[in-house]
């Protein structure tokens, strides 16, 4: 049986899931938006652990402990910067979702929460990003042991977009 996918509007740092996915930058040393919020909520131990990871390539994912978060682990993934869509952005963004689920599965996670990767300062068009997120998660989830994936919306418009795509 395949796990479920649902959308919520929430603060991703407060969710009681096994894995919180972080929309990180390549250094993994914190930044703005979701990345900064996760680092602040997780406490200084997260930054210390990230220093030992040697960064992360765009489209890849690496795991750390959750530290002070309710989540057991943080899976850090680096989304692409939007340059119009003709520089491999869709493939790289799909890889973020796929690789994050694979890493979560490897950790033994049963639940994971994703932010809208690359849609903030990286400029990925929200409609295209949401469609790609839903399609990739639905395609990848059956190959994992995860029971639930939560797509976390930042705004009411983001939540509406996800719910339309999920048929809810």
Q: Which of 11, 18, 35, 145 is catalytic?
A: 35
Nearest to 162 by CA among 115, 102, 109: 115
Nearest to 13 by CA among 23, 3, 25, 27: 23
Q: Is 91 a catalytic residue?
A: no
Under 8 Å between Cβ of 77 and 56: yes
**Tell me, what DSSP letter sits at residue 3?**
P
The two most distant CA atoms of the chain are separated, in Å, by: 41
Alpha carbon of residue 37 to chain centroid = 13
| Active site residue ranges | 35
């Amino acid at each position: 049986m395949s796990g479920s996918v649902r959308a919520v509007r929430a603060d991703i740092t407060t969710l009681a899931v096994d894995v919180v996915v972080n929309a990180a930058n390549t250094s993994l040393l914190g930044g703005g938006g979701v990345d900064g919020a996760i680092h602040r909520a997780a406490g200084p131990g997260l930054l210390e652990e990230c220093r030992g990871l040697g960064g992360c390539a765009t489209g890849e994912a690496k795991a750390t402990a959750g530290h002070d978060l309710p989540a057991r682990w943080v899976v850090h993934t680096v989304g692409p910067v939007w340059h119009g869509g003709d520089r491999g952005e869709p493939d790289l963004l799909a890889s973020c979702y796929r690789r994050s689920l694979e890493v979560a599965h490897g950790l033994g996670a049963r639940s994971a929460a994703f932010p809208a990767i690359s849609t903030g300062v990286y400029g990925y068009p929200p409609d295209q990003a949401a469609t790609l997120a839903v399609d990739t998660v639905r395609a990848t989830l059956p190959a994992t042991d995860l029971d639930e994936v939560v797509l976390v919306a930042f705004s009411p418009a983001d939540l509406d977009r996800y719910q339309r795509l999920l048929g809810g």
